[in-house]
Amino acid sequence: MTAQPPKVRFAPSPTGKLHVGNVRTCLLNWLFAKGQGGIFVLRIDDTDLERSTKANEDQIREDLTWLGLEWDETFKQSERFARYAEAAEGLKKAGLLYPAYETADELERRRKIALSRGKPPVYDRAALALSEAERKALEAEGRKPHWRFKLSGGAVTWNDLVRGPQSIDTSSVSDPVLIREDGSFLYTLPSVVDDVDSKITHIVRGEDHVTNSGAQIEIFRALGGPVPEMAHTPLLIGADGQGLSKRLGSLSVEQLREDGVEPLAICSLLAKLGTSDAVEARESLMQLASEFAFSKIGRAPARFDEQELGHLNAHIVHAMDFDTVKPRLAKLAYGENATSEFWDVVRGNLTTVSDAQVWLMVVYGGGLEGPELTPEDQAFIGQAAAVFPEGEVGPTTWHDWTEAVKAATGRKGKQLYAPLRRVLTDQERGPEMDKMLMLIGAKKARDRLVEAAP
């Protein structure tokens, strides 16, 4: 690590929604920076003007704010095109950015020929051999050049904070295209220029960018900027071992939020997946930051399991106090009636706060749909209704009543308790019935029993 506090960046493209893979990269950057008293930069990579939208940008910012991953600085690449053009001119003057005129079809044919001969499909730098007259002739045909960065052909090495010593032989990769035929910039040049200008000290990203790092390090040096330290983390995969699509809607932050997943559950899972730490819910992002270390990150792909996320979410919900959850309950049907007693009884049976809707209906709602009962169970409910105690219910009512029902019907165990639970709550399982009966109250309980009886 550097002596100075780290400065990192997260650079999403506003061409789609954030999903858990994006969030993991963002989170690791944020945790590293905040754990070291550093700076977290949000850079909006919107150089693709056709596909980037303001709506997506706004959603990204909203999602990160909801997750608690707020930024110290932010800017948009679309506001810096003049700066990128300036940097490109400097590279051209240094002989490091050269025009190439091959079409996509021509490059594809060359690639196939190289492969058929058992050679790597590396660009042959034919454009460097063109004379000025040949270039003008091609342009007279209507061809416009794309611009490639001239790699050194040597080895580029760095000590990766996750992967250890790395080396990329730049003679084994094609000179990267930095500017398209239409003059638009590809990702690489704006990214490096921004990292230099922003004084980014560490680049933390997925291991799919390892091969790109050799070229990018040479561009950093060509622009006269210090090369940031790098950390390339294993990619996130699904529980089935398959990759996660960038636009997998069910795992977008927006969808997870709508599904009632808590932001701290998402962050706790993504921070600990693939590390030597236990995957457990943490109390805060700063606790996660204090525990973060690159040395804890393994080399195997990290498996994202939605069931594991559900378990973490349930743990967080179960620990919520009533004052915290009250405003959220109030948005549900009958939620304005909820009390702390209600919350204490039901929260242990919830995975999300919105799951409380079922129990709000049971306790504060009107009539339930009612379960389908066999004739035998209907008769049993009639007998149970006949011995339901007079007056209001109390802490011992459920026990006393079920003992009386047992004596009157001979039923016990599941045959005794299951039909009573279904009639009173319309659910197969749930909170302890002695406490639920007190919440439901005597009148509703009697009404439900009578309605279900034959």
pLDDT for the residue numbered 58: 97
Handedness of CA 299, 305, 309, 311 (dihedral sign): negative
- Is 337 found in the same domain as 315? no
Give 245's pLDDT tier (boundaries 50, 70, 90): low
Mean pLDDT, rounded, of the chain: 94
The mean pLDDT of 152-164, rounded to a whole number, is 97
Whether residue 114 is predicted with pLDDT greater than 70 in this model: the reply is yes
CATH code, 417: 1.10.10
pLDDT score, position 247? 40
Whether 51 and 25 map to the same domain: the answer is yes
Question: 273 and 357: one domain?
Answer: no
Domain boundary among 331, 364, 397: 364
Question: CATH number, domain at 136?
Answer: 3.90.800.10
- Regarding whether 382 and 302 lie in a shared domain, the answer is no
Q: Domain for residue 114, yes or no?
A: yes
Same domain assignment for residues 101 and 175 = yes
Mean pLDDT check: name the lowest of 201-205, 242-246, 308-312, 372-376.
242-246
What range defines the domain where residue 291 resides? 1-74+234-319
Structural domain ending residue among the three candidates 153, 179, 205: 179
* Domain-located, residue 202: no
- Mean pLDDT across 326-338: 97
pLDDT bin (cut points 50, 70, 90) of residue 248 is low
pLDDT tens string 251-296: 899 999 999 999 999 999 999 999 999 999 999 999 999 999 999 9
Taking CA atoms, 371 is separated from 30, 244, 368, 425, 452, in Å, by 50, 40, 9, 9, 8
Looking at the fold, whether 89 and 150 belong to one and the same domain comes out as yes
- Alpha-carbon span 313 to 429, nearest angstrom: 20
Residues 385 and 411 in one domain: yes
Q: Are residues 312 and 326 in the same domain?
A: no
Tens digit of pLDDT for each residue in 119-151? 889 999 999 999 999 999 999 999 999 999 999
Amino acid at site 260: G
User: Residue 3's pLDDT is what?
Assistant: 65
Total domains in the chain come to: 4
- For residue 156, pLDDT beyond 50: yes
The tokens for 142 are 């209507």
At 264, which CATH number? 3.40.50.620
